[in-house]
C-alpha cells in the first residue's frame, strides 16, 4: 500500500513538472519607469494573492474593432517642428503594426474643428446648393499628408470623419460658432445661444439636400486622393454650443437629415461609407432614440459614437440597440496636464466604455506642441508633446496607457466577462492565437500579487504600486 501511495505521489510530481506552462509576455509602466518588458517567472509554492481574477474564455462579450486617435491640423504642424527622422519615429510609434501602438481606426474632421489652424469649410460660397465650389484643397496642406504618412506604415488603416460645423451659410447665424466669445471669435452677441435641442441648421429641403451632397462630395474627393472614408459620424457633439466650430441640432432634425437626405444620397450613389449617429455627448437615451426612431433612420445607421457625458448613456443604448456597433470617439482631453493622474482617469474611462459594449476606443490629439492649446483657447492633453522652442519630444503617460491595450488587443479579439477583483482590470481574448490579454492597474502604493485563473491555468505576477500592467497569456 505504501508503495502504491508513493508511486501515485511521484506520478503527480512528475505530471506537474512536465505540464507545459502558459507563455506570458508582460509589460509594466509606472510614472517614473514606462514600458518595462518584464520576465515572467511561474510562481513557486503556495501563496495567498492580494488580487484574484477568474477568467473563462467561453464567456465572451463584444468584438473589438480597434484603437486610434484623430488627425488634426495642429498635430501635423507640431510634427513639422522636428527632424524628418524624428517625425518618422513618432509616426512609427503610433501606427506600426510591429512595434508601435498599432492604431488601425482613426478620426478626422470634415472642415475645421477646434484643432484646425483657423475656420474653414469645404464650401464657403453662400447658397451654392449645387456645391460647384466644393474643394478639399485646404486639406492637401495638412490633413491629407498626415493620413498619407500613416497609410505608408499601415495601409489598412480605417479613417472616419465628422463635421464640427457645416458650411457657415447653412446655419441661421451664418457663423461657425454657436457661442460668442470676443477673445476668440466675432459672433455677434445677439446671435449667441447655448440653448440645446434647437437646431442652428436651416431645416429647409434645399439646405438639407445640399448638405447631403456636401458629405457625398467629401467622400468621393478623398477617394480620389487614395483615402477611403470608412464612416461618417453626422455631427460632432450635436448638443454643444461652443465658441469654436459647432452646430446644435434638435434630435428629430438629425433623424430627418439622415433618413430623408443623407442615407438615400449615399444609397443612390452606392457609397460604401457607413453612417453613424455620432458623436453623442449627453447622457439622455431620449436624445438618441429621437434620432434613431424617426422613420427608417435605423436602416441607415451602422453604429453610435460617444464622448464626454455620452458615457452616461452607452449602457442604455447597448441594451436598447444590441445590434449597433458602439465607439468611444474622443477620450476626454483634460486640461493639458499630460500627467499620471490623466492616465489614471483615462484608464477608468476605458474600463467604463469597454464594460458597457464599446467596440473601439479613440484618443483625441495624438501630437501637439507643448502648449496643447487650440486656436480657441482650450489647453488639452496629447499622447505626444513637442516643445516648439527646444524641439524636445515627450511621450506622455497616456501614450503608454493607450499602447498597453492597442499593441496587444488585436482587431477581432473579444471582451471577456471576468469575476473576482476586477475593479481595475480588463480582459480580452484572441481566438486566432488562443491568447488572453489582461490590462490591470494597481492603484495602491504597494506591490500587490495578482493571480489570474484562466480556464484553470494559474498565472501570478507581482504588480508594482501605481502601475499599469499588460499580461498577454498564450494558453496551452
pLDDT, one tens digit per residue, over 362-413 is 999 999 999 999 999 999 999 999 999 999 999 999 999 999 999 999 999 9
- For residue 96, give the C-alpha cell: 506600426
CA distances from 460 to 119, 361, 393, 437, 470 (A): 53, 28, 36, 14, 13
Average pLDDT on 191-204 reads: 98
Q: Is residue 16 predicted with pLDDT exceeding 50? A: no
- Identify whether residues 400 and 376 lie together within a single domain: yes
Q: Which of 3-7, 340-344, 375-379, 438-442 has the lowest mean pLDDT?
A: 3-7
- Identify whether residues 124 and 210 lie together within a single domain: yes
Q: Is residue 290 predicted with pLDDT exceeding 60? A: yes
What CATH number is associated with residue 176? 3.20.20.80
At 4, the pLDDT band (50, 70, 90 cuts) reads: very low
Please check whether residue 14 lies inside any domain of the structure: no
- For residue 180, give the C-alpha cell: 460668442
Q: Which of 361, 386, 408 is the last residue of a domain?
A: 408
Please check whether residue 225 lies inside any domain of the structure: yes
Q: Is residue 20 predicted with pLDDT exceeding 60? A: yes
The range of the structural domain enclosing residue 161 comes to 65-408
- Identify whether residues 349 and 425 lie together within a single domain: no
What CATH number is associated with residue 433? 2.60.40.1180
Please check whether residue 441 lies inside any domain of the structure: yes
CB 376 within 8 A of CB 185: yes
Please check whether residue 4 lies inside any domain of the structure: no
Average pLDDT on 295-312 reads: 98
Q: Which of 364, 386, 408 is the last residue of a domain?
A: 408
Average pLDDT on 206-225 reads: 99
Residue 46's pLDDT is: 79
Q: Is residue 262 predicted with pLDDT exceeding 60? A: yes
Find, among 414, 306, 436, the residue nearest to 362 by Cα.
306
- Identify whether residues 344 and 316 lie together within a single domain: yes
- Identify whether residues 112 and 233 lie together within a single domain: yes
- Identify whether residues 316 and 403 lie together within a single domain: yes
Residue 45's pLDDT is: 72
Residue 17's pLDDT is: 43
Residue 19's pLDDT is: 57
- Identify whether residues 436 and 381 lie together within a single domain: no
- Identify whether residues 91 and 55 lie together within a single domain: no
| Residue 107, beta-bridge partner list | 70, 160
- Identify whether residues 305 and 254 lie together within a single domain: yes
Please check whether residue 292 lies inside any domain of the structure: yes
- Identify whether residues 70 and 84 lie together within a single domain: yes
Q: How many domains does the chain have?
A: 2
Q: Is residue 135 predicted with pLDDT exceeding 50? A: yes
What is the average pLDDT value for the chain, to the nearest integer?
A: 95
**What are the strands of the beta sheet with 384-386, ordered from one edge?**
367-369, 384-386, 393-395
Q: Which of 366, 387, 408 is the last residue of a domain?
A: 408
Residue 417's pLDDT is: 98
- Identify whether residues 36 and 161 lie together within a single domain: no
Instruction: Give me the percent of the chain exceeding a pLDDT of 90.
Output: 94
Please check whether residue 256 lies inside any domain of the structure: yes
Q: Is residue 184 predicted with pLDDT exceeding 80? A: yes
Residue 44's pLDDT is: 76
Q: What is the pLDDT of residues 47-77, one digit of tens each?
A: 899 999 999 999 999 999 999 999 999 999 9
Residue 5's pLDDT is: 43
Residue 293's pLDDT is: 98
Please check whether residue 238 lies inside any domain of the structure: yes
Q: Which of 34-38, 46-50, 204-208, 399-403 has the lowest mean pLDDT?
A: 46-50
CB 398 within 8 A of CB 342: yes
Residue 3's pLDDT is: 44
- Identify whether residues 336 and 460 lie together within a single domain: no
Amino acid at each position: 500500500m505504501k508503495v502504491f501511495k508513493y508511486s501515485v505521489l511521484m506520478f503527480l510530481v512528475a505530471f506537474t513538472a512536465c505540464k507545459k506552462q502558459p507563455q506570458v509576455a508582460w509589460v509594466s509602466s509606472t510614472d517614473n519607469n514606462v514600458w518595462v518588458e518584464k520576465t515572467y517567472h511561474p510562481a513557486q509554492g503556495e501563496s495567498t494573492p492580494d488580487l484574484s481574477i477568474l477568467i473563462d474564455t467561453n464567456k465572451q462579450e463584444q468584438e473589438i474593432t480597434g484603437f486610434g486617435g484623430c488627425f488634426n491640423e495642429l498635430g501635423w504642424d507640431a510634427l513639422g517642428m522636428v527632424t524628418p527622422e524624428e517625425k518618422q519615429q513618432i509616426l512609427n510609434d503610433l501606427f506600426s503594426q510591429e512595434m508601435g501602438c498599432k492604431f488601425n481606426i482613426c478620426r478626422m474632421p470634415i472642415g475645421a474643428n477646434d484643432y484646425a489652424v483657423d475656420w474653414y469649410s469645404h464650401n464657403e460660397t453662400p447658397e451654392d446648393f449645387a456645391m460647384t465650389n466644393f474643394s478639399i484643397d485646404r486639406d492637401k496642406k495638412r490633413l491629407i499628408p498626415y493620413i498619407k504618412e500613416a497609410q505608408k506604415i499601415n495601409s489598412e488603416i480605417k479613417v472616419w470623419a465628422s463635421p464640427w460645423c457645416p458650411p457657415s451659410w447653412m446655419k441661421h447665424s451664418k457663423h461657425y460658432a454657436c457661442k460668442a466669445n470676443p477673445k476668440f471669435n466675432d459672433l455677434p452677441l445677439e446671435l449667441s445661444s447655448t440653448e440645446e435641442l434647437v437646431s442652428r441648421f436651416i431645416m429647409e429641403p434645399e439646405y438639407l439636400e445640399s448638405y447631403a451632397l456636401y458629405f457625398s462630395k467629401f467622400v468621393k474627393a478623398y477617394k480620389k486622393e487614395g483615402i477611403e472614408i470608412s464612416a461618417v459620424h453626422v455631427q460632432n457633439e450635436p448638443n454643444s454650443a461652443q465658441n469654436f466650430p459647432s452646430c446644435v441640432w434638435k434630435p428629430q432634425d438629425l433623424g430627418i437629415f439622415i433618413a430623408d437626405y443623407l442615407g438615400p444620397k449615399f444609397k443612390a450613389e452606392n457609397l460604401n461609407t457607413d453612417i453613424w449617429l455620432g458623436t453623442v455627448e449627453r447622457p439622455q437615451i431620449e436624445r438618441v432614440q429621437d434620432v434613431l426612431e424617426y422613420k427608417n433612420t435605423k436602416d441607415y445607421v451602422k453604429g453610435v459614437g460617444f464622448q464626454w457625458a455620452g458615457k452616461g448613456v452607452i449602457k442604455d443604448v447597448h441594451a436598447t440597440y444590441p445590434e449597433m456597433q458602439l465607439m468611444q470617439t474622443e477620450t476626454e482631453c483634460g486640461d493639458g496636464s499630460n500627467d499620471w493622474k490623466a492616465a489614471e482617469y483615462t484608464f477608468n474611462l476605458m474600463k467604463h466604455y469597454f464594460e458597457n459594449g464599446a467596440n473601439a476606443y479613440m484618443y483625441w490629439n495624438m501630437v501637439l506642441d507643448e502648449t496643447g492649446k487650440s486656436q480657441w483657447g482650450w489647453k488639452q492633453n496629447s499622447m505626444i508633446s513637442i516643445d516648439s522652442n527646444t524641439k524636445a519630444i515627450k511621450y506622455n503617460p497616456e501614450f503608454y496607457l493607450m499602447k498597453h491595450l492597442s499593441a496587444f488587443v488585436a482587431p477581432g479579439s473579444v471582451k471577456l466577462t471576468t469575476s473576482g477583483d476586477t475593479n481595475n482590470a480588463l480582459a480580452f481574448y484572441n481566438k486566432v492565437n488562443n491568447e488572453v490579454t489582461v490590462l490591470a492597474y494597481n492603484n495602491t502604493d504597494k506591490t500587490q500579487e495578482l493571480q489570474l485563473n484562466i480556464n484553470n491555468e494559474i498565472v501570478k505576477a507581482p504588480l508594482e504600486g501605481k502601475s499599469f500592467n499588460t499580461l498577454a497569456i498564450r494558453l496551452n
